[in-house]
Structure 1
Amino acid sequence: MTRAGGRSPLAPRRTLPATVVDDTVAAAAILLDKWHPDEDSFGSSLFLDSTPDEVDAFLRAAKDLHRAMLFYASGAATAADALHAGGHGLIHAQELLDTAMRRLQRELQLLLTSLPAVLHFRQDDDDDDEQEDDQSLVDACAHLRVVAEAMMAAGYGKECVSIFKARRRAAVTANLQRLHGFSLSPQHAQVHKFSWEQVDAKIQSWLAGARVAFTSVFSAERELCDRVFVGDNEGVGDAVFGAIADDHATNILAVAEAAVGRSRRAPERLFRVLDVHDALTETILPAIVSAFGEKSEVTSRAATLVTTKVSEAVRSMVASFEAAIEKEPSKGTVPGGAVHPLTRYVMNYLSFLADYENALAHIYFYQQGVGAGGDQFTDTSSLASGSMASSSDLSSSSSSSPALSVWSNPIGWLVHVLLRKLDAKAGSYREPALSYLFLANNTHYEAKKVGGGTKLERVLGEEWAEAQRAKARGYVDVYVRAAWGNAGAGDENVAAGGRRRPSQQQQQQQEVPVEIRNGKTRRQRVTITD
């Protein structure tokens, strides 16, 4: 009670900050009424159908509502402020903020829906006529970024990530399925049931699709996440991208793993596996490192596929090819000392194999640590950068090694195995002359396949080809002497039929039948001279 005639106590006065906050909340409420998520029946978009000024005003209102909540919850408001607000200031601001966030969730969905089915971010070397389409994509990314930042700042990051992840994951799944035939179903589980023809077709399809998937689809998705989740939200972007793409990428790699596993110990399948190796090291693995990161599980799996599974399959098939040469019966000769079918098959096989000289250098030279201290080469950064071995590494390695081996030069080693088998076959001829003619024909054929600037010559060396030609001439000389020795009767200078035997110099100029390959197999008479 007050004393009689006394002055009544003054009513509590509100503070200036509280008045400003109340006015801010009231202004935000008016703007939210226009863009209320529950009352917009026309499906219009704040970002796509309004002006930039209105977008900025809405985003400022959302920030103001969040600050108002913090103000009311912080205890900074006086008793008068609380009384003026009717005790509901915090609740009212929170309700308005929730309305604003639901609007932004809807905007996020609309913006994600507006993205093209196939994302393409313009590169510096792209044509200018694509700039307009790319600019619309850039604008959409900018809108998505401000929506994500607003939702994250207001504490609605979980809702933002959930919507973004679900929409983009569905888009990537549809893109991979429509364009490249990949799906999340375990395709690799069926590979073991396929015939080799089906597996071969699967690998060819995989080679085309996987290149595009990793260099285009996943790289574009990585770019999208990087543009939307920036700054403090960068870690969120990494997690979102992983949730969208990791299992897709793993499934694609699993198809190659299963197909390569079906190819082991079959030399005729070697070239297809080497195609997989080249695709991985030249294109796919660098794209994986760029999109998923060097330390990611996807990168680790791709590197293991290259350095272990594919490489082991290649070495197994090369070993099987070597064993097939060794198992060829040494007593299996050809009439007249002609070129043996084994020689033709092996040299043609190696001619194709020379196209993969860099892959072989990587598999045999670097991975086994020849000249590198014996440590296995598994550095993903080196794999991804393409800094691998070349045929020059093999040539220098084999020339500096004390003995040729499959590890120093696999193609050179297989030629060595072939020559050794041909020597054994030559010993099966009863007539020494035919034995040397056989060696001359086959050695000459090998020299022809290697010489003339072929890739085999680049792998084995011009000196090797010249040495083989010299050996062929030497075998011809021996053959001529042996043939004349068999034909001679009576006087050593008189041949059968009364003709005088030519001198040694004339023998070296004598034309002898030597079978060579020039387009089609045929017999020609060639002059072998010193």
Structure 2
Amino acid sequence: MASPSARRHALPSPRHRRTLSSTLVEESVAAAAALVQRWHPDDDAAASGSLFLHATEHEAQRFLRAAADLHRAMLFFASDVITHGGGDGLVQAQALLQTAMRRLDQELQLLLDDMTRLDDIRAVVEAMVAAGYGKECISTFKSHRRAALSTELQRLLGLSPPYHQHLHKLAWEQLDGSIIPSWLAAAAVAFNSLFAAEKGLCDAVFAGGNAAVGEAVFAAVANDQATGLLAVAEAAVARARRAPERLFRVLDVHDTLTGEVLPGLLSVFGGINSSEVAARAAHLVAKVGEAARGTLGSLEAAIQKEPSKATAAGGAVHPLTRYVMNYLVFLADYQEGLTQLLVDGYQQQQEASSLMVVVHRLVSVLLGKLEAKAGCYRDVALSYLFLANNTQYVANKVAGSGKLRGILGDGWAEAQSAKARAHVGVYVRAAWGKVMAAIAGAGAGAEPPEAVEQAVMEAVAMQEQWVAADEETAQALRAAATAAVVPRYRMFYRRYGAAVRLTPGDVTTMIAALFAGPPGDV
């Protein structure tokens, strides 16, 4: 038989131990009930404040501990309802825990409006997840942050959601006028700042659990927003196909995408093998390349299809020349990005190409078309004036653009200027050939002196409506004509001056008046 001392220190029977535990649990439930009631989510007075924003830190921590106690009480009562007689206790603890979770759900929404309380947000999330309310917690977090992110993007873009769903209905002018410029200004900020901050928030809040949870929550919050943002760029590329003048917007999108957006996008969303957003961005870059190559091919085809008979009045610079050369000057500004697009695309097609090759080809097609147009003039002199004007315009455009000059080569513009001077020489011989022939005929006695004067008047009249590409070309034309005609006429005048009215000075003045009007549009 055990001694009194042994009996005094013996452990209680199992039945008695369970009774003691039940008492402790019931006391914790009662304490928790009082706290939950004070912060009941349906109480107007309690709803006007916040545990984490308005109450003391001690009160907030007590509430979190109370929620944990209620969850433990539920597990305790549920472990052996029959033994503990805890059916009522289980029901009570579960009801109180549900109420506490509703309160924490409200607190989470309030805290998510005040992003400076990251520790409190994480504490609420951990408490809800630990109590088995992770699904509800994550749902609240996702819906709240998705709405907040949408609002921020709307503010940044100046567009109302769901803006990306209506892009296909907009005219190009609407896209080009406001939407694409807004995207160009906002995309880098969105991917490098907004989405990065959202990813940091998800990682921090859900750091206590599986990292995959934070990644999944971030994807649910941000993927649709990110793909909606990329949809603007996709619309720009799709709507710009085969329209040469729209290529520059596509290249703006490409430069922003590759230079500013992709680094942040890949850092935040992951690589193309693991991220829907990154895969879509990579596909978009490929589409930009296709659009660029297709547009440049369309431009080349358009030059080739230009009717040769469509000439320019007075031998002026043709609108086609102005359009193509101005286009190439602008194109050269995108040299770095466009070079990469062309190299990537043609390498995939097992062809060797570069921006230099493409630009050379476009200019060569243009010069060939100008030769064809020149052949459509009835007057030989006018056809060479046309070639001189247009060739010099091409040379000036290349010489005036450092980037275009670098693409075509330093000596290319000089070679075209030399061709333009050769065209001027042919023009002078053709335009003043009858005058010089008349002078020679008069000197040989085969023509009367009056024939020379008549030839001069006809040559001047013929050229009065002809134009020069610019003042420099006009001076070159006048100088060449003066050098070819005036010395011969002066010799003629010394011999036959009494028989004609025009002096050498008169002829010089008449030549100087040619091409003095407004030059061709440059």
TM-score by length of 1: 0.69
Of 256-265 and 16-25, more deviation after overlay is shown by: 16-25
Whole-angstrom CA distance in 1 between matches of 2:22 and 2:360:
83
Are 1:180 and 1:213, in contact at CA under 8 Å, matched by a contact in 2?
no
1:329 to 288, 307, 328: 307
Measured after TM superposition, the shift of residue 461 of structure 1 is: 2.6
Letter of the aligned partner of 2:34 in structure 1?
D
Whole-angstrom CA distance in 2 between matches of 1:21 and 1:292:
50
Are 2:325 and 2:397, in contact at CA under 8 Å, matched by a contact in 1?
yes
Paired residues in the alignment total 447
Deviations 1:260-299 (A, max 9, x none): 4333322232222332333333333444333333232222
After superposition, residues 94-493 of structure 1 pair within 5 angstroms as: 94=94, 97-112=97-112, 114-115=113-114, 137-138=115-116, 140-185=117-162, 187-189=164-166, 191-192=168-169, 194-201=170-177, 202-294=179-271, 295-308=274-287, 310-334=288-312, 337-369=315-347, 374=350, 409-429=357-377, 435-452=383-400, 454-476=402-424, 488-489=436-437
Sort the Cα spacing of 1:18 and 1:324 in 2 relative to 1 into closer, same or farther, 3 A.
Answer: farther
Measured after TM superposition, the shift of residue 13 of structure 1 is: 5.7
Sort the Cα spacing of 1:452 and 1:313 in 2 relative to 1 into closer, same or farther, 3 A.
Answer: closer
Whole-angstrom CA distance in 2 between matches of 1:229 and 1:329:
67
1:52 is aligned to 57
Measured after TM superposition, the shift of residue 18 of structure 1 is: 8.3
Structure 1 SS opposite 2:366: helix
Percentage identity across paired residues of the two chains: 53
Deviations 1:415-437 (A, max 9, x none): 12112212323344556655554
Whole-angstrom CA distance in 1 between matches of 2:470 and 2:332:
19
Are 2:77 and 2:90, in contact at CA under 8 Å, matched by a contact in 1?
yes
Sort the Cα spacing of 1:448 and 1:22 in 2 relative to 1 into closer, same or farther, 3 A.
Answer: farther
Letter of the aligned partner of 1:42 in structure 2?
A
Sort the Cα spacing of 1:325 and 1:143 in 2 relative to 1 into closer, same or farther, 3 A.
Answer: same
Measured after TM superposition, the shift of residue 161 of structure 1 is: 0.7
Letter of the aligned partner of 1:59 in structure 2?
L
After superposition, residues 2-17 of structure 1 pair within 5 angstroms as: 12=13
Whole-angstrom CA distance in 1 between matches of 2:22 and 2:409:
84
Are 1:35 and 1:46, in contact at CA under 8 Å, matched by a contact in 2?
no
Structure 1 SS opposite 2:334: helix
- Gaps in structure 1 of 5+ consecutive residues: 1-6, 116-136, 376-400, 500-512
Measured after TM superposition, the shift of residue 450 of structure 1 is: 1.2
Whole-angstrom CA distance in 1 between matches of 2:18 and 2:66:
17
1:390 is aligned to none
Deviations 1:76-100 (A, max 9, x none): x9x9xx55x7676666655554444
1:508 is aligned to none
Structure 1 SS opposite 2:476: strand
Measured after TM superposition, the shift of residue 484 of structure 1 is: 7.5
Sort the Cα spacing of 1:207 and 1:86 in 2 relative to 1 into closer, same or farther, 3 A.
Answer: closer
Deviations 1:288-333 (A, max 9, x none): 333333232222223222312x333333332222222112232444
Sort the Cα spacing of 1:31 and 1:406 in 2 relative to 1 into closer, same or farther, 3 A.
Answer: same
Whole-angstrom CA distance in 1 between matches of 2:392 and 2:88:
100
Measured after TM superposition, the shift of residue 348 of structure 1 is: 1.4
Whole-angstrom CA distance in 2 between matches of 1:470 and 1:522:
12
Whole-angstrom CA distance in 2 between matches of 1:19 and 1:413:
94
Deviations 1:232-281 (A, max 9, x none): 24322222222223333333433443444333322232222332333333
Are 1:365 and 1:408, in contact at CA under 8 Å, matched by a contact in 2?
no
Are 1:184 and 1:248, in contact at CA under 8 Å, matched by a contact in 2?
no
Are 1:104 and 1:151, in contact at CA under 8 Å, matched by a contact in 2?
yes
Structure 2 SS opposite 1:523: helix
Whole-angstrom CA distance in 1 between matches of 2:30 and 2:350:
71
Of 141-150 and 201-210, more deviation after overlay is shown by: 201-210
Sort the Cα spacing of 1:319 and 1:87 in 2 relative to 1 into closer, same or farther, 3 A.
Answer: closer
Deviations 1:360-407 (A, max 9, x none): 22321123327xx849xxxxxxxxxxxxxxxxxxxxxxxxx6xxx677
Letter of the aligned partner of 2:214 in structure 1?
G
2:31 is aligned to 30
Letter of the aligned partner of 2:219 in structure 1?
G
Are 1:63 and 1:154, in contact at CA under 8 Å, matched by a contact in 2?
yes
Of 419-428 and 11-20, more deviation after overlay is shown by: 11-20
Sort the Cα spacing of 1:357 and 1:22 in 2 relative to 1 into closer, same or farther, 3 A.
Answer: farther
Question: Is residue 480 of structure 2 the alignment partner of residue 523 of structure 1?
Answer: no
Whole-angstrom CA distance in 2 between matches of 1:14 and 1:57:
31
Letter of the aligned partner of 1:106 in structure 2?
Q
Measured after TM superposition, the shift of residue 356 of structure 1 is: 2.0
Sort the Cα spacing of 1:288 and 1:246 in 2 relative to 1 into closer, same or farther, 3 A.
Answer: same
Letter of the aligned partner of 2:195 in structure 1?
F
Measured after TM superposition, the shift of residue 14 of structure 1 is: 6.6
Whole-angstrom CA distance in 2 between matches of 1:275 and 1:207:
8
Whole-angstrom CA distance in 1 between matches of 2:59 and 2:121:
16
Measured after TM superposition, the shift of residue 443 of structure 1 is: 2.4
Measured after TM superposition, the shift of residue 156 of structure 1 is: 1.3
Measured after TM superposition, the shift of residue 353 of structure 1 is: 2.0
Deviations 1:12-59 (A, max 9, x none): 367879857854763464255234342752332222223334444443
Measured after TM superposition, the shift of residue 483 of structure 1 is: 6.7
Structure 2 SS opposite 1:48: coil
Sort the Cα spacing of 1:282 and 1:25 in 2 relative to 1 into closer, same or farther, 3 A.
Answer: farther
Are 1:516 and 1:523, in contact at CA under 8 Å, matched by a contact in 2?
yes
Are 1:25 and 1:93, in contact at CA under 8 Å, matched by a contact in 2?
no
1:391 is aligned to none
Whole-angstrom CA distance in 1 between matches of 2:20 and 2:398:
92
Sort the Cα spacing of 1:226 and 1:182 in 2 relative to 1 into closer, same or farther, 3 A.
Answer: farther
Measured after TM superposition, the shift of residue 454 of structure 1 is: 2.5
Sort the Cα spacing of 1:517 and 1:315 in 2 relative to 1 into closer, same or farther, 3 A.
Answer: farther
Deviations 1:180-213 (A, max 9, x none): 3444547544634x44433432433444454554
Sort the Cα spacing of 1:349 and 1:45 in 2 relative to 1 into closer, same or farther, 3 A.
Answer: same
Are 2:356 and 2:407, in contact at CA under 8 Å, matched by a contact in 1?
no
Whole-angstrom CA distance in 1 between matches of 2:470 and 2:119:
66
Whole-angstrom CA distance in 1 between matches of 2:69 and 2:315:
96
TM-score by length of 2: 0.70
Structure 1 SS opposite 2:346: coil
Structure 2 SS opposite 1:232: coil
